[in-house]
Every structure is written in structure tokens, then in C-alpha cells.
Chain A
Amino acid sequence: MITSLDELLAAHPFMAGLGHDQFAVVAGCARNVALAKGAMLCVEGASADTFFLLRRGHVSIEVHGPGRGPVVIETVGSGAVVGWSWLVPPYRWTFDARAMEPVGAIAIDGACLRDKSLDDPALGFALLSNVSRELLSRLQATRLRLLDLYGTARG
């Protein structure tokens, strides 16, 4: 059975709450992609024009250090959003993102959505709300990791 791009998009949590017309605008900027293990989704410093809605597989968010190679900061999987630098000037990726295994994703042209959001503030607010939901979840998880919870676990 072939699943349409609209169906794939509708199944992704990022699209929750978008109106019919807003959904259509995002779908118009989207394409289905398959990434091989090791493929880079984002590269630090590069122009941040495309972001990814993960459908299957896992992606590592990394930073590269001299003498250390890639250092994995976190890994994200199905249902996650990879990339939000497309929303904030100067629109450049802050970290690397690499496919840890074969990854299925929906790539969305963020530059296209930025332009459309300038013409349609309601669309911009809806997108920003949905990105913020992902940001909040990841920020909370990061804060909990900073607590070093397991360092105080029961003995």
C-alpha cells in the first residue's frame, strides 16, 4: 500500500492542531525522504533552510570537537522534529544531525514556510506554537539530564 505524503504528514505529531489550509501550505513545502545510515541531515554552520519530521529511525544530534570527533549530545527518533534554526536568524545550523540507521523523514522547506508565514501571521503563529512544543519537551529533558539524576540514585 502506498501512503501519500499528506497521510504521512497527518500522522506526524508536529502537524497536530494545524487548520486545513495551514496543513496544505506545509504539505506544499514538504517532500518524503529516505536517508541512509550516516547521512547528514544538518551540518553546523550551514544554511538552515530545511528541517525534518522523523517518521522512522533515529538521528543523533552531534557537535564535532578537535581530537574528539563527533560528540553525541542526544538522539531523537520517530515523531521528533530535527532542526529549528530555520526559524531564527541568521538561519544557520548550530549542530550536526546524522542518521544513526536508515531514516524515513519528511523534509520541509523552512525558507518557503518563512516567506509564507510573513504573508500569513496565523500560519506563522501555528508553526511557532508547534515548534515551541518540541522545543519545550527537549529543553525539559535536557534540564533533567543536567540534574545528573542517577548520581543521587538509591543505593
Chain B
Amino acid sequence: MASAKPGVATREPSRQPLTPVLHRVVRRQRETEDVVTLWLEPLDGERLTFRAGQFNMVSALGVGEAAISVSGAPGVAGPLRHSVRDVGAVSHALCTCEVGDLIGVRGPFGTDWGIAARDGEPDPRDTVIVAGGIGLAPLRGAIDELVAARAWGSGRVFVLVGAREPAQLVFTDDLERWERDGAVVLSTVDRATPQWHGRVGLVTTLLSDAGFDPANCRALLCGPEIMMRFTARALSDLGVDPERVWVSLERNMQCGLGWCGHCQLGPLLLCRDGPVVRYGGLVAELLNQRER
């Protein structure tokens, strides 16, 4: 057992990876019309440790299991946090959970955004975060880490967010907080409402005047795959090296261990080799192939 903080027990990842650990919903918050955030505490008292960008297999008891990214920040004491969009049977069951309900959690699984401070050395590069819709959830913990790292000399942080309409923007309190803490935060919507006085257009339109240094930056993208593909191309047009662009991909994650093969993308098993992968080279080719 590892301990992230005195007095708080944590569990090493996936010692029994196929066995869900029962968690109780201790807090629930509606983010938008179809997105709910759940805070979960393990019944056995041993909290998971994870890295930003990883996911858990979260099960609604009697309904099924789905891959859900952790939307909390690593290393922060407190309940496990998942933000779920109501798009299917399992996610609907999770979104309708109440405080006190039990759900199962396996994980964490997969790769992370790779932004944890290396031996305390600041990384001076700009980091550009581009998120579409609920795609901000897997990035939320990474942004917290990046914004905190500014205090000891890490590079600038640019958070660019797109949503269908203003009411679909998630984590608006966090967007304000990151801006207060020095990040450049820009948001845009596909469809404006009379109350919206901000930008209207595709998220890629935020790239050109965000102010980051294309020659000295890395980009982290999460959202609908088409959005990520076009954003990666737009970044490349601006001069960002595709090898410094990371995307979070999802297929049909089931086992979480690379055993079952359901989440295969070319030679990759995304539950094990992803969800966070480097865009350049192989992944760019794979995403431009037409899957059946």
C-alpha cells in the first residue's frame, strides 16, 4: 500500500484488475443538462492513485461497465472524481446515481498526459490544451498540474475550449479559476444564445490568436475524434511539430488490460497503449484511415 499523504490510505493501481472495487457516491453535481460529476469513496477506505489522463472502468451495478476518464487532479487528497456524459445505458445509470448509491470501479488504466514534473525541473515550453465538450474532463487534472507548475517556472498554459452552446460548457468555475491563476483561457461555441457575448465558431478558430509559441510548445487534445484531427492539422499549419501533439483516443474499452482486443486501433490496444497517444506518425496515419 502506498500513501500519498499521511493518514490517507491509497491503493496501488490494479492489483486485482478485473475485480471492481465498490465505491459509494459521496457527492453529485450536475455540470450541464447531460453531464454529471460524481465523487466516490471506496468502501474499503483505500483510495486509488492515478495520473492525469488515465481512466477507470466504472460499473453501474446490474447495468454494465464503461470506460470513464478521471476528472480529478492527481495527488490531491479527496474522493475519486468522474464526470459522466449521459449517452447510453451505463452512463445514464451513472448519471442518475444519487448520493449514497454504490458503483464499481476498476483501474486506473492506460497512459497519461505525461506532464508530471520531472524531478522538480520546470518545463519552460508553452502547453496548449484544446478540449471539445466533455473532452475537458480527462484534461482537468492535467491543467491543474500545469497551472500549479507555473509557480516554479514552468511554461505558459493555454486552455482553448469549444462546446455546442454556452449551456454545454463544462467546468466553468475551473475555467475562471485557471484564468485567475495565470492561464490564457478562451472558449467558443457553435451556436450562440442572446446572452452569450463571447466567441462563436469552431474551436480551431481560437488557435491563431491565442498567443502561444508554435515552435516551442506541446499540445494536448481531447474531444470528438474529428475535432482532434482537424485541430492537429491546424496546429501543424501553424508550425507545431505533430510529434509534440498528444490526443486522447477511445474505442470500445472492455478489459482495460490489452487482453481482449476490443479497443484495437491498428497495432495499438488503446486501453493499454492509450488513451493518450502521440499524434505524429503512426497515429496520424491511423486516424486518417477510414474504419468500417
Chain A's nearest CB lies how many Å from the CB of B165? 9
Question: What residues of chain A lie closer than 8 Å to B202, measured between beta carbons?
Answer: 141, 144-145
**B134 partner residues in chain A, CB cutoff 8 A:** 153-155
Q: Which A residue's beta carbon lies closest to that of B194?
A: A69
Contact status of A150 and B194, CB under 8 A, knowing A79-B208, A79-B209, A144-B230 = no
Q: In the bound complex, do residue B224 and residue A152 qualify as a contact, i.e. CB atoms below 8 Å apart? A: yes
Q: Is the CB of A155 within 8 A of B87?
A: yes
Please report which residues of chain A, range 131-155, place their CB below 8 angstroms from some CB of chain B when the two chains form the complex.
Answer: 141, 144-145, 147-155
- Most chain-B CB neighbours within 10 Å: which of A75, A78, A152, A155? A155
Secondary structure at the B interface, as helix, strand, loop or mixed, is mixed
Leading 7 A-B pairs by shortest Cβ distance: A150-B133, A155-B85, A153-B133, A72-B192, A155-B87, A149-B224, A150-B164
Interface residues of B in 157-210 (CB under 8 A from A): 162-164, 168, 188, 190, 192, 194, 196-202, 204-205, 208-209
**Closest chain A residue to B134, Cβ basis:** A153
Choice from A69, A141, A149, A153 contacting B85 with Cβ under 8 Å: A153
Pairs across A and B, CB under 8 Å, 23 listed: A58-B199, A60-B200, A71-B192, A72-B192, A72-B200, A74-B200, A75-B198, A77-B209, A141-B202, A144-B227, A144-B230, A145-B190, A145-B202, A147-B226, A150-B190, A150-B227, A152-B224, A153-B132, A153-B224, A154-B85, A154-B134, A154-B250, A155-B86
Grouping DSSP codes into helix (H, G, I), strand (E, B) and loop, the A interface class, with mixed when no group exceeds half, is mixed
B91 at the interface (CB under 8 A from A): yes
Is A20 close to B, CB under 8 A? no
**For the complex, what is the distance from the CA of A121 to the CA of B231, rounded to whole Å?**
36
- Chain B interface category by residue count: 35 or more
- Residue pairs across A and B with CB atoms within 8 Å: the count is 84
Q: Which residues of B contact A (CB under 8 A)?
A: 66, 68, 84-88, 91, 132-135, 162-164, 168, 188, 190, 192, 194, 196-202, 204-205, 208-209, 223-224, 226-227, 230, 250
- Residues of A near B204 (CB, < 8 A) are 141
